[in-house]
Structure 1
Amino acid sequence: MTRENIAALETLRKKIEEADGDLLRGLMHETIQLLMSAEADGLCRAEYGKRSEVRVNSRNGYRDRALDTRVGTLDLKVPKLRSGSYYPSWLLEPRKRSEKALMQVVCEAWVEGVSTRKMDRLVKTLGIAGIGRSTVSEMAKSLDDRVHAFLSRPLDRGPYRYVWLDGTYLKCRESGSVESVSVVIATGVNRDGYRDLLGMDVFTMESETSWTEFIRGLVERGLSGVDLVISDAHPGLKAAIARLLPGSAWNRCYTHFTRNVIDKVPKKGQEKAAWMLRSVAGQLGAEAAQEQYDRVADRLSGEYPQLTDLLDEAREEVLAYTHFPLAHWRKIRTNNPMENLNSQIKRRSRDVGIFPNRESIVRLVGTLLLEQNEDWMTGRRYMRLDSSGEASGSPDEYLVSADQVPGCETILTPH
């Protein structure tokens, strides 16, 4: 491994070693158990549970041992031997060094994948003579199976009335060069009103074919009952949604749309244009929002003729959310929930820099998504899906009054 990759892994270790999540605690626990088992097998000169002519000792149950770490208390089972005793001295003193080395093992496995050579080198920092291929295989299987099971699980908590789709780009080594690949993610609201991470994939590019395969996979796993899909205006994605989710409405992310408009406005007029567009999102009824959009579109098109086609063509796309319960508007008119998730992925993957392969992206991002999904499922309900609806705050929090926008007093009167 290059010096840069070692530095990146060390940075990642520092970022996550103080985390208090069940996932990281579980990975640490499994890693320690596997390493103790491998060391006990070495003392017995034979693998646990297997007959061997060279065996010199055998197991005799376990003793319980609580280990306090910076990721929480781990309840360990230390192997006992029939003859003599075994205790993992590398877990005693110095505690900080052993924790650091263990975290390095977990981080390396997390990002780089697991190989006999890598794990053998890393566990030697703990004072363990070596590690067998079968133990390495079990570590790899434990890590990757956890992510695979999560990403391929049945989507049986539908109907998923609202679905958000988005992607972010990460650097990855491909065929001897560094390329940007798209990590795409789908989230939804399940029948109980909780957010649910539905799936992820890695694309070479966000083409219609790629999006079609991704959404088809979601449907095959059980995605159903989708009333509205929220995403940006990627043509391939729009086509895939229309083909595989017939009957579903599509809402163009209002935040992305606003950026598209602002990019076509001279710098001195951008702030004013942004406030005008926000006034549409602040309306408290479908008719009011549509009328406000028309007033804003007329005003902006008059000042900036280059916006005319964009504003006219996008009208129905960005106002699709107004056909759904008012209490849900703030959460379904944009892809902001996905933007927040993408920011987390960017922040955590920045410590890795360039991923060695796509499998390592799936391993790291999939693990982060699994952890996030557990938080969502045990946290506060995202929205109420009955007829009355529920919103953590109402749309009028975002209402923009006309006197806040210089020059708009006579045209942007809020409803």
Structure 2
Amino acid sequence: MALSQSDLLRLMESLRTADGIELIRAVAQRMLQELIEAEATARIGAEPGEHSDARTTWRNGHRDKTLTTQAGDLELAIPKVRTGSFFPSLLERRRRIDQALYAVIMEAYVLGVSTRSVDDLVKALGADTGISKSEVSRICADLDEQLTAFRDRPLGHTRFPYVYLDATYCKARVNHQIVSRAVVVATGITEDGGREVLGLMVGDSETEMFWTEFLRSLRERGLTGVRLVIGDRHSGLVKAIRKVMLGAAYQRCRVH
């Protein structure tokens, strides 16, 4: 399943405004660091510690660099070489990478696309060498562990008296067809006013069964203390709230 650029950016913005920005920041930092290391390997001609006739120089540690983006400061490590110099093409001055970087992250990490598409996106960022299929697969496999940990993390560390539920529809490619898919998001409000993205799920539509499955997954992860659920008046959502969120009041969102 692959979303369009506009759909990806809209979904990213909804996560960013719901304090999901920390996840994007961590993933962006990890992805960018991997791209820097891959470009250094291509420049040197060998992996760290690898014996190769194609090697042109040797690594000589790293130097720290802070990259300021809309997702926050990214702490990066730039490889140093013994002879010559190396500076990642992605970080060249006057190159704006935020929007393209987020597109790479959302495509390759959250939703998953082909390795060829990721290579095209990396080149769009300004990395002339691109990235190999095996490197893309390795990076995405590592990042998938972080996403799984975020989606399955326990929610019993604090109480969320207020929970906002909403859905957006995005065009996606499923089995070689472009179809509309529902992306549902739950945002919790703590007793002291803090916000946290509790979870998200992708389905065919906002049926009662789909919403019920999503809400039960939140309960199973430890969501407790909910006193008020805010959402639209979709019949499937309302029925699921009454079935799963026992003891919690329901209020229609004023925006809707």
TM-score (normalised: structure 2): 0.70
With over 3 angstroms needed to count, the CA separation of the structure-2 counterparts of 1:72 and 1:116, relative to structure 1, is same
Please say if 1:90 is aligned against 2:8.
Answer: no
Is the 8 Å Cα contact of residues 165 and 187 (structure 1) preserved in structure 2?
A: yes
Q: Which runs of 5+ in 2 are unaligned?
A: none
Cα distance 1:86–1:130, how it changes in 2: closer, same or farther (>3 A)? farther
Distance in 1 of aligned mates of 2:25 and 2:196: 22
Quote how far apart the aligned CAs of 1:33 are. Answer: 2.5
In structure 2, the residue matched to 1:135 is 135
Q: Deviations over 1:303-337 (max 9, x none)?
A: xxxxxxxxxxxxxxxxxxxxxxxxxxxxxxxx237
Alpha-carbon distance in structure 2 between the residues aligned to 1:138 and 1:199: 25
Same amino acid, percent of matched pairs? 39
Aligned residue runs from structure 1 range 54-69, under 5 A: 54=53, 56=55, 57-65=57-65
Q: CA RMSD in A?
A: 3.9
Sort the Cα spacing of 1:72 and 1:87 in 2 relative to 1 into closer, same or farther, 3 A: farther
What aligned pairs does 1:315-326 form with structure 2 within 5 A after superposition? Answer: none
1:234–1:38 CA distance, 2 compared to 1 (3 A): closer
Q: CA deviation at 1:72?
A: 6.9
Shift of 1:214: 0.8
Conserved 8 A contact 1:165-1:230: yes
Partner of 1:336, secondary structure, is coil
Structure whose alpha-carbon radius of gyration is higher: 1
1:187–1:39 Cα change, 3 Å: closer
**Mean alpha-carbon deviation: is it higher for 146-155 or for 234-243?**
234-243
Could you say which residue in structure 2 is the equivalent of 1:108? 104
| Total equivalences in the alignment | 240
Separation in 2, partners of 1:29, 1:228: 36
Distance 1:87-1:69 versus aligned 2 partners, 3 A rule: farther
CA distance in 2, matches of 1:230, 1:69: 32
In the aligned structure 2, how far is the partner of 1:170 from the partner of 1:43? 39
- Give 1:106 deviation, angstroms: 4.1
Looking at structure 1, the residues matched to 122 and 227 of structure 2 have their Cα atoms a distance apart, in angstroms, of 51
In structure 1, list runs of 5 or more residues that go unmatched.
254-334, 340-415
- In the aligned structure 1, how far is the partner of 2:251 from the partner of 2:24? 36
Structure 1 counterpart of 2:254: 336
Q: How does the TM-score come out when normalised to structure 1? A: 0.47
Contact map agreement 2:156 2:224 (CA 8 A) in 1:
no
Map 1:4-19 → 2, pairs under 5 A: 8=5
Which amino acid in structure 1 is aligned with residue 84 of structure 2? Answer: S
Amino acid at match of 1:215: L
- Change in Cα spacing, 1:31 to 1:185, as seen in structure 2 (3 Å) is closer
Amino acid at match of 2:228: L
**d(CA) in 2 for partners of 1:218, 1:67:** 35
Structure 1 residues 114 and 86 mapped into 2: Cα distance closer, same or farther (>3 Å)? farther
Residue 141 of structure 1 and its aligned partner are, at CA, apart by 4.3
Shift in Å at residue 218 of structure 1? 0.5
Q: CA deviation at 1:38?
A: 1.1
Q: By percentage of residues, which structure has more helix?
A: 1
Q: Give the superposition deviation at 1:224.
A: 1.4
